[in-house]
């Protein structure tokens, strides 16, 4: 499946090699990496090449659906978002390069990805975790409808240690209820 997702201002499309020059400088930022579980820091072109190849492989296997977040107005690559299928539940994660923070793009992209999970992938549950010292992400997840579930340590690759993480979830009934409201 090589599907792109559209929202008002954004086009989310599967990452390709042509995106690597845009991804690397945005991802190579400790303020981005320290808030993600698995993003290496520093972040090199080799890391981006691995990301693109791995995304293609996992998409073909039907377990992961990664997208670059692009702005329709100028085709700018602003960050990435992805959905990971594990044990029947879908986890999602996302990041934006710093120049693109505070414009509502993460919330818009997350809302679109959640709709993809429930409407296209028939998810029963979608969940995401945010580190305790990253309330910006907590705000995004709250706006999209995810609710606090539990608090647990998760490893952060860039920090090289476990960090307290808020796990938030959205179940299908609640998603359908929100949409109808
Ligand atoms: C998490 C992250 C994506 C959040 O970015 P963000 O800029 O706070 O989120 P959004 O893009 O949704 O923007 C929301 C902000 O834009 C503002 N905004 C401005 N114009 C807007 C518009 N047209 N529509 C909606 N919101 C708008 C909102 O008011 C909000 O600001 P506020 O939080 O001060 O009220 C970003 O900080 C990031 O990439 N961090 C590093 C990686 C990371 O943490 N990933 C998540 C891991 S769980």
| Residue minimizing CA distance to atom 10 of ligand 1 | 104
Ligand 1 atom at minimal distance to the Cα of residue 9: 23
Ligand 1 atom at minimal distance to the Cα of residue 140: 12
Residue 10's φ and ψ, nearest 5 degrees, are -125, 150
Give the separation between CA 80 and CA 14, rounded to whole angstroms.
Answer: 9
Residue 121's φ and ψ, nearest 5 degrees, are -95, 0
Q: Is 96 in the pocket of ligand 1 (CB under 6 A)?
A: yes
Centre of ligand 1 from the C-alpha of residue 60, in Å:
30
Residue 55's φ and ψ, nearest 5 degrees, are -65, -45
Q: Is 104 in the pocket of ligand 1 (CB under 6 A)?
A: yes
For residue 2, the model assigns a pLDDT of 54
Provide the whole-model pTM: 0.97
Q: Show the domain range for 127.
A: 5-180
Domain count, the chain: 1
Q: What is the tens place of the pLDDT at every residue in 29-85?
A: 999 999 999 999 999 999 999 999 999 999 999 999 999 999 999 999 999 999 999
CATH of the domain at 22: 3.40.630.30
Helix (H, G, I), strand (E, B) or coil at 4: coil
Cβ-in-10-Å burial (0-12, 13-18, 19+) of 18 comes to: exposed
């Amino acid at each position: 499946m090589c599907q792109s997702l559209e929202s008002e201002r954004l086009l989310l499309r599967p990452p390709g090699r042509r995106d690597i020059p845009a991804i690397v400088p945005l991802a190579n930022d400790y303020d981005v990496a320290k808030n993600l579980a698995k993003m290496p820091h520093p972040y090199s072109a080799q890391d981006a090449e691995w990301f693109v190849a791995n995304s293609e492989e996992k998409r073909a296997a039907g377990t992961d659906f990664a997208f670059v977040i692009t702005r329709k107005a100028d085709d700018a690559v602003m960050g990435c978002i992805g959905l990971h299928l594990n044990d029947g539940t879908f986890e999602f994660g996302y990041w934006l390069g710093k120049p693109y923070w505070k414009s509502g793009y993460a919330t818009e992209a997350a809302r679109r990805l959640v709709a993809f999970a429930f409407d296209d992938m028939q998810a029963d549950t979608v969940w995401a975790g945010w580190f305790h010292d990253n309330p910006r992400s907590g705000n995004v997840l709250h706006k999209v409808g995810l609710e606090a579930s539990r608090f647990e340590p998760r490893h952060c690759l860039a920090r090289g240690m476990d960090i307290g993480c808020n796990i938030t979830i959205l179940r299908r009934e609640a998603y359908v209820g929100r949409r109808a409201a």
